Structure 1
C-alpha cells in the first residue's frame, strides 16, 4: 500500500448493515467490509460517552445496535495501526485502544489490499514485563 490513509479514505462512506456484541467485543460490518474490536473501545457522541467495553451487556448492545444503518464517514488510522478512531454520520465516534497482540482490532474491506490488524504498542512479553510478571 502506498498510503494507508488514502487507501482507507477511498473506501468511505461505509454503511453499517449489521452489528454484534459478545462480552466486551463488538463487530460492525456492511457490504464488503467488517470491523472486529476485541480490545478496549468507547462510543461517544458530541463528547458524551454512550458505552464502553466495560458497559453492561444491555447498554452495550443498545448503543452498538444504534449504529446500524449509520455510515462511517471518516477513519483515523495511522501507519502504526495502533488506536484507530471511526467517525459516523450522526456524530458518534468509536475510539479503539488495543493493548496487546492477544486483544487486537481488525478491519477488512474488499477494496483494501490488506487486512488491518491493530495491536497495542507493546508486545505481550513487554506488557507482562511492565506488570512485573514473566
Structure 2
C-alpha cells in the first residue's frame, strides 16, 4: 500500500466539494477526484475522536468538511490502512474489513483500491 502515498500525493491538495454519508457508505469528492469508503472509518482531531462510521450524527458532521482540503495521506502504523489529513485539524482514518474494495480513491488518471487489514491490526 505504500503506492497509495506516492500515487496520491502528486494530486494534493484536493478540495472537498461534496460529502455523502449513508449507513454503510462514505463518499467524499471534488472536481476530478473521489474517495469512496465502504468499511469502518473514524474522524480524528488533535483532541481525539471527533466522530465515526457508527455515529448517527455523522452525515451532519461531515458537512463541515465541505470547502476544506484533503492535504496529505499516510499509512496508519505502516500497515495497509490509510489516514487522510484534512485541513482544519482533521484526519480521516480508514480500516479495511473486507477483501472486496473496502475503499477506493481516484484522482485524475490515478485509482488506488484498498486492502483488508490483517487480523488484529486495527
Match of 1:36 in 2: 36
Q: Rg larger in 1 or in 2?
A: 1
Greater RCO, 1 or 2 (C-alpha within 8 Å, sep 6+) = 2
Q: What is the match of residue 63 of structure 1?
A: 61
Matched ranges for 1:1-134 at <5 A: 4-56=4-56, 59-77=57-75, 82-102=80-100, 104-112=102-110, 115-121=111-117
User: Could you tell me how far apart the structure 2 residues matched to 1:47 and 1:119 are?
Assistant: 28
Give distance in 1, aligned partners of 2:79 and 2:92.
15
Give the conservation status (yes or no) of the 8 Å contact 2:40–2:96. yes
Name the CA shift for 1:4/1:102 in 2 (closer, same or farther; >3 Å): closer
Deviations 1:87-121 (A, max 9, x none): 01101000000011246111011142xx2111214
Gaps of 5+ in 2: none
CA distance in 2, matches of 1:27, 1:97: 15
Q: TM-score, normalised by structure 2?
A: 0.84
- Name the count of aligned residue pairs: 116
Q: State the distance in 2 between where 1:81 and 1:71 align.
A: 24
**RMSD of aligned alpha carbons:** 2.2
Could you say what secondary structure the match of 2:51 adopts? strand
Moved over 3 A (4+): none
Q: Which has the higher strand share?
A: 2
